[in-house]
Amino acid sequence: MSYVGRLAPSPTGALHLGNVRTFMIAWLRARSLGGRLVMRMEDLDHPKDKPGAAAAAIEDLRWLGFDWDAEYVQSERKALYREALESLVAKGLAYPCVCTRRDVESAQSAPHAGEQLHYPGTCRNRFAGWREAYALAGRVPCWRFRVEPGETIAFDDVFAGRFEQRVAEKLGDFPLARDEFGAGYTLAVVVDDAAMGVTEVVRGDDLMAATPAQILIQRALGLPTPGYCHVPLVVGPDGRRLAKRHGDTRIASYREAGLSPDRIIGMLAASCGWAEKGEELSLASLLPRFTLKTIPKEPFRPDGLTG
Ligand code: GLU
């Protein structure tokens, strides 16, 4: 089977060093295996999506030397997510839930900051349908996936190795989408990876713990499970995921400051063990040097663009 990978930016802000390092690995992995790449704009997160961010991300990626073979926009694909949701509902595997985050939090025995919340199943078997839930709550319910007691999912990540999650214990019935018709990240990513023929998902390891839920949905819909390759994130000096408070690492700002794409790619390549510090290299020139083996297992902390 020939390799199909994907780049899946969310237009919630400007493209920065963190996104680009992951995309660089995804691009090199696909191209070094002679594979195809799809570009999928994940623009379903309405309150957080920024106008113009999708076009800007594409422009920045092209400037850096990225290319791809097909382009998709999730907001144009809602009919597919709706169909998948209807199929899960028909199988009794999806139900509407009106619990607030606070309701779910207060049901935890020991909530930990930043951890995924365990859902106690309050709205399981509670409503005949979405409209009834909406009428009761007076706001938009979310859709949850019904997880069987004891459900555990394990997979072998190409980069990180074996990962196992007791989904029933850890998450319970997890959310599928906040949209009436199922247009939300978790369901959409599963539908799209299958529809686009993606054979391997390369993405940041902040999504590792979200993968078992995606595998459960794949199985429920009779879709294949792609390979997974979760790579470490870029973090700031405080060890937290790269963000605005760590200073300006937007690609557009480097470009305005006169830095070349080869300088940016060279610095990121050095962080993956494919180049010396200070080397300037184009993305395509890295193809013969690419290997997953030299990428450090720890998050990458850039110390400036010369780092
Ligand atoms: N669009 C997501 C993000 O930018 C990535 C989703 C995925 O790779 O599955 O965080």
Q: How far apart are CA 241 and CA 16, in angstroms?
A: 12
Residue 158 corresponds to which tokens in the numbers above?
A: 């190409």
Please state the pTM of the whole predicted model.
0.95
**Residue 251 to residue 15: CA distance in whole angstroms:** 6
Domains of the chain and CATH, by start: 4-76+232-294 (3.40.50.620), 78-189 (3.90.800.10)
Tens-digit pLDDT profile for residues 218-264: 999 999 999 999 999 999 988 888 888 888 999 999 999 999 999 99
Mean pLDDT of the chain: 94
Confidence (pLDDT) at 306:
40
Cα(90) to centroid(ligand 1), Å: 28
The pLDDT value recorded for residue 107 is: 77
Per-residue pLDDT at 307: 38
**211 CA distance to ligand 1 centroid (A)?**
11
C-alpha 9 to ligand 1 mean position (Å): 6
Given a contact cutoff of 8 angstroms between Cβ atoms, the answer to whether 206 and 233 are in contact is yes
Q: 82-111: string of b/e by CB count within 10 Å (b at 16+)?
A: bebbeebbeeebbbbbbbeeeebeebeeee
Atom 9 of ligand 1, residue of closest alpha carbon: 189
Atom number, ligand 1, closest to the C-alpha of residue 203: 8
Cα(122) to ligand 1 centroid in Å equals 29
Structure-token match 């409209």, residue found: 131
Which residues are CB-contacts of 112 (< 8 A; sequence separation ≥ 6)?
Answer: none
Q: Quote the ligand 1 centre to 8 CA distance (angstroms).
A: 5
What's the 3-state SS for the chain? CCCEEEECCCCCCCCEHHHHHHHHHHHHHHHHCCCEEEEEECCCCCCCCCCCHHHHHHHHHHHCCCCCCEEEEHHHCHHHHHHHHHHHHHCCCEEEECCCHHHHHHCCCCCCCCCCCCECCCCCCCCCCHHHHHHHHCCCCEEEECCCCCCEEEEEECCCEEEEEEHHHHCECCEEECCCCCCCHHHHHHHHHHHCCCCEEEEEHHHHHHHHHHHHHHHHHCCCCCEEEEECCEECCCCCECCHHHCCCEHHHHHHCCCCHHHHHHHHHHHCCCCCCCCCCCCHHHHHHCCCCCCCCCCECCCCCCC
Q: Tell me the C-alpha to C-alpha distance, in Å, between residue 293 and each of 7, 29, 273, 283, 297.
A: 21, 12, 9, 18, 10
Backbone phi, psi, residue 157, to 5°: -75, 135
Closest ligand 1 atom to 12 CA: 4
Q: Whose CA is nearest to atom 6 of ligand 1?
A: 8
Q: Which atom of ligand 1 approaches the CA of 204 most closely?
A: 8
pLDDT of residue 109: 62
Q: Which atom of ligand 1 is nearest to the CA of 9?
A: 4
Predicted local distance difference test score (pLDDT) of residue 54: 96
**Can you list the residues of the chain whose pLDDT is less than 70?**
1, 109-115, 304-307
pLDDT at site 104: 87
Q: How far apart are CA 116 and CA 172, in angstroms?
A: 10
Query: Measured between alpha carbons, how far is residue 291 from residues 26, 44, 232, 272 in Å?
Result: 11, 33, 15, 9
Q: Which residues contact 208 (CB under 8 A, 6 or more apart)?
A: 157, 160, 163, 230
Res 303: pLDDT: 80
What is the structure's pLDDT at 247? 84
